Amino acid sequence: MSSPHTALRPTSRPTSDKASRTTLRLHARPAGPATVVTVRGDLDAGSAGDFARFLQQTLASTPYVVLDMAGVTFLDCRGVGAMVAASSAATAAAGRLDVHDLPERHRALLEHFRLAGRFGLHTTAGGPGH
């Protein structure tokens, strides 16, 4: 029987849109019972749709997802909305969505919207899954 992680495609997906200042890069990898999704670049109106679709696909194979957000350079309300939707989907599947290494300036945005408690916000030495 194959692992549910092997069905995840694509494992790496660059997205770009004229509204997005930089390319968003997403990479998924198994780490124990979870799938770690590494997020790099701007998570904004131009990339939130691709981000949401990538997380939906990931959650279809495992209900426990860890977002490694250390490389997020910009986060707006559309990106936060995609994170909230993914968190709701994970909870509905008896799983969860944890957020690791979110830069402080972006953590403040979640706190402003009173969403910090919705995510398991963690700072990880060595990154998620290490």
Show the low-confidence residues of the chain (pLDDT under 70): 1-22, 124-130
Q: Give pLDDT, residue 73.
A: 95
In this prediction, residue 124 carries a pLDDT of: 67
What class is the 14-122 domain? alpha beta
Check: CB of residue 33 under 8 Å from CB of residue 64.
Answer: yes
Length reported for the chain: 130
The domains of the chain are located at 14-122
User: Degrees (nearest 5) of the Cα angle 58, 20, 42?
Assistant: 55
What pLDDT, on a 0 to 100 scale, did the predictor assign at position 122? 72
DSSP class per residue in 56-116: HHHHHH-SEEEEEEEEEEEE-HHHHHHHHHHHHHHHHTT-EEEEES--HHHHHHHHHTT-G
How much is the pLDDT for 112? 85
